[in-house]
Amino acid sequence: MSTQQMKAIDAIQEAQKIALGPFLFQAVVSLRKLGVFDLIFSKRKKGGISIEEIASELSISEYGVGVLLEIAESSDVVVKNEVGGFELTKTGYFLTYNETVNVNLNFTNEVCYEGLFHLPEAIKTGKPSGLKVLGEWDTIYEGLSQLTPEVQQAWFEFDHHYSDGVFQEALRTVFKGNPKSIFDVGANTGKFAVAACGFSEEVTIKMVDLPGQLKKALANVKNNGFENRVTGHEIDWLSDNPSIPEGAELIWMSQFLDCFSKDEIVKILSTCVASMSDDAELLIMETYTDRQKFDNAKFILEATSLYFTVMANGNSKMYAAKDMIELVDKAGLTIKEDINVGEYHTIFICKKK
């Protein structure tokens, strides 16, 4: 229902939910961290569990359990049954056990929560003004390999969650033409390189990334026994004249271009075009805001854009496919195929014009 048709009483309730949203969010984080949700769930077949029992089992005060469950109950995260026992609602269940919700919640709390306070400044300056709470870098990517373990884990789980699931399906598209030499641009932890080497015994991969990240990716590749077929190429795409070697039959970019502004994307793609032969292909895999079937997927992408604004680099976002199509064209590429992968992803197969 649009807010224009909503009754004022409902609209003010919605407004208050937003005004006080951080209280509910942190209450949920606390209920998870303190083990209250797990305990409530474990008692679901025993008529729920009371505040007193929760307090005693988890050695926290009844006051503490009470204030947390009060707001959780009025927000439909838990429900109190007729005998005073608490149970998880469906929403409470998803907040505790749904993988995507978990990954998003940890990413929000560990990586973004404190820094989001600086969003107005980030919008005004075009800089990731919240990043200073994690470290003194120009972009989060320079600091990825130096983040604290909790922040790093939340960042990598968020990143991997949205690509791991589609890699196997994506590999079938990548290897349709049986390429022997692939450049993985934005290789991150080397997960794609490892998966690709597992998929084809003949392929060699060159991972292209910032020095700190590349070191980690190469170590991961070695742990998986593929060091003879995978090499690295250090690059900072934001430097003056970045370049990549020639010789790739296929250039792979997964969830990479969203880390850059529109002008930077054209610069990156044009640099790749300069290294490509007429037969080479460049594959871009992204999640686009205008290609989502579900509103909640679009909402996740919109929140991710604000992460880029305030924490990552200050000037990139999750793009609409129609924007990327324009940028690809500007860089001297044409899209030969436009393929849906999994529920959320799209692959553009591009060639030189």
Which residues make up the interface to ligand SAM (CB under 6 A)?
Answer: 141, 144, 159, 163, 186, 188, 209-210, 213, 235-238, 254-256, 259
Between 161 and 229, CB nearer to ligand SAM: 161
d(CA 351, CA 353): 6
Between 30 and 275, CB nearer to ligand SAM: 275
Contact of 268 with 339, CB cutoff 8 Å: no
Q: How far is the CB of 114 from ligand SAM (least distance, A)?
A: 21
Residue 10: CB partners within 8 Å, gap ≥ 6? none
Between 37 and 260, CB nearer to ligand SAM: 260
Q: How far is the CB of 189 from ligand SAM (least distance, A)?
A: 8
d(CA 332, CA 132): 37
d(CA 311, CA 209): 19
Q: How far is the CB of 156 from ligand SAM (least distance, A)?
A: 9
Cα 133 to its chain centre, rounded Å, is 19
Between 39 and 238, CB nearer to ligand SAM: 238
Please provide residue 240's backbone torsions phi and psi, each rounded to the nearest 5 degrees. Answer: -65, -50
User: Which of 245, 274, 251, 228 shows the shortest CA–CA distance to 182?
Assistant: 251
Backbone angle region of 245, left / alpha / beta, with phi > 0 → left and psi within -120 to 50 → alpha: beta
Q: How far is the CB of 186 from ligand SAM (least distance, A)?
A: 3
Please provide residue 53's backbone torsions phi and psi, each rounded to the nearest 5 degrees. Answer: -65, -40
Residue 342 tokens, joined: 């999994």
Residue 151 tokens, joined: 């922040």
Between 107 and 256, CB nearer to ligand SAM: 256
Q: How far is the CB of 140 from ligand SAM (least distance, A)?
A: 8
User: Which of 90, 117, 255 shows the shortest CA–CA distance to 189?
Assistant: 255
Between 226 and 256, CB nearer to ligand SAM: 256
Q: How far is the CB of 144 from ligand SAM (least distance, A)?
A: 6
Residue 102: CB partners within 8 Å, gap ≥ 6? none
Q: How far is the CB of 252 from ligand SAM (least distance, A)?
A: 8
Between 51 and 253, CB nearer to ligand SAM: 253
The dihedral through the CA atoms of 127, 290, 153, 204 has a sign that is negative
Q: How far is the CB of 243 from ligand SAM (least distance, A)?
A: 12
Between 96 and 315, CB nearer to ligand SAM: 315
d(CA 141, CA 163): 18
